[in-house]
Amino acid sequence: MSDAVTPLPKAALVEVGSGLAAESARFAARGWMPGTAGNLSVTLGREPLRLAVTASGLDKGELTPADIVIVDERGDSVLGEGGSEQRPSAEAGLHARIARVTGAGAVIHVHALAAVTAAHVWPDGVVLSDLEMLKGIGHAAHGETVTIPVIENGQDMTVLGDAFEARYVRPCEGANDVPALIVASHGIYAWGRDLRQARWHLELTEALLQIALVTR
């Protein structure tokens, strides 16, 4: 277990939990978080890294503000810092890795159909160009090619995190940085500075993937 840090005020955690519950309900209504599938997180602090993650095993359309667990940089539950004692998602470790590597303030993971289908069609990554909505994920609508990375699925979040980090292009390193990752035969992760931007990145990427599949 990590050393405890000063907990966030209860009102702040309720606000975070309310945001996570609202976004979960939104994606559940779209069919992207069926049953207990999928998870979301918000970064609470960076030194040490702390995330509020939706609790495991709960219907994502029925979460309450209390259904969040605070985890550390490995995705392990941290008690005594204001979160619930429920079990965090098994994928919390990948959320933490994405937050640490990208500096994201929020990460969303859903089981959207186009992302899973696209990974079957393009297992080495989904190449996109000359699409207007690329502007919504930080790229030009024309004259630029970007790739949504695809990694193999697995149950070890350290292995998945290593695969993600090996494929991630930091903004300072080139033009192909994208705020999304597809895990083959599983789903998609998207991130942003906050939940709203992460949602936009997710919705835009899923729409881009739908276009790529229809027009291939």
Give the CATH number for residue 113.
3.40.225.10
The answer to whether residue 34 is domain-embedded is yes
Alpha-carbon gap, residue 132 to 38, rounded angstroms? 28
Question: How many structural domains are present in the chain?
Answer: 1
Chain-centroid distance of CA 115 in Å reads 13
User: Is 5 inside a domain boundary?
Assistant: no
Of the pLDDT bands very low, low, confident and very high (cuts 50, 70, 90), residue 2 is: very low
What residues pair up with 50 in beta bridges, in sequence order?
A: 45
Is 1 a domain residue? no
CA distance 56 to 201: 24
Chain segment 5-59, per-residue pLDDT in tens? 777 888 999 999 999 999 999 999 999 999 999 999 999 999 999 999 999 999 9
What's the pTM?
0.93
When the pLDDT of each residue in the chain is averaged and rounded to a whole number, the result is 92
Q: Per the domain annotation, does 157 fall within a domain?
A: yes
Is residue 192 in a domain? yes
Note down the domain range covering 185.
Answer: 10-215
- Nearest Cα to Cα of residue 189 among 108, 114, 103, 132: 108
Query: Under 8 Å CB-to-CB from 35, ≥6 apart: which residues?
Result: 59, 60
Query: Considering the domain boundaries, does residue 2 fall inside one?
Result: no
